[in-house]
Structure 1
Amino acid sequence: MKAQDLLGKTADELKAELLQLKKEQFNLRFQKASGQLENTARQRQVRRDIARIKTVMSANAAS
């Protein structure tokens, strides 16, 4: 996910995307704990995507 893609989305779309990523992050944590996680790099991607969305949301709120 690119920050440029997020700039065109509305606040509601960003909130929905953030919620979906947080659910995925939760599931990835459980997979890791139970030893079922295959793609460990996905945890890093999800964490960074969450940060990107939060950054765009705060930038939108400031302007």
Structure 2
Amino acid sequence: MKITELRQKTKDELGNILLDLARERFNLRMQKGTGQLTKSDQIKKVRRTIARVKTVLKEKASA
């Protein structure tokens, strides 16, 4: 998800996105632990998206 798309969303929408991403990260970690994860780069993408969402939330809180 691009940063411009995230900046257009409300705080509630960003919170929901963050929750979904956290669940996805957990599921990917469990798949990695059991050896079922085929695309290991997905973990990195999810982590970076979480960081983007948190950054936008921080920007909205300080504005």
Bin for the TM-score computed over the shorter chain: over 0.9
Unaligned runs of 5+ in 2: none
How many residues align structurally? 63
Is 1:8 aligned to residue 8 of structure 2? yes
Aligned with 2:9: secondary structure? coil
Unaligned runs of 5+ in 1: none
Q: Residue 62 of structure 1 aligns to which amino acid in structure 2?
A: S
Percent identity among equivalent residues? 49
Over the residues paired in the alignment, what is the CA RMSD in angstroms?
Answer: 0.3
Whole-Å Cα distance in 2 between the matches of residues 59 and 7 of structure 1? 9
The TM-score, its normalising length taken from structure 2, stands at: 0.98
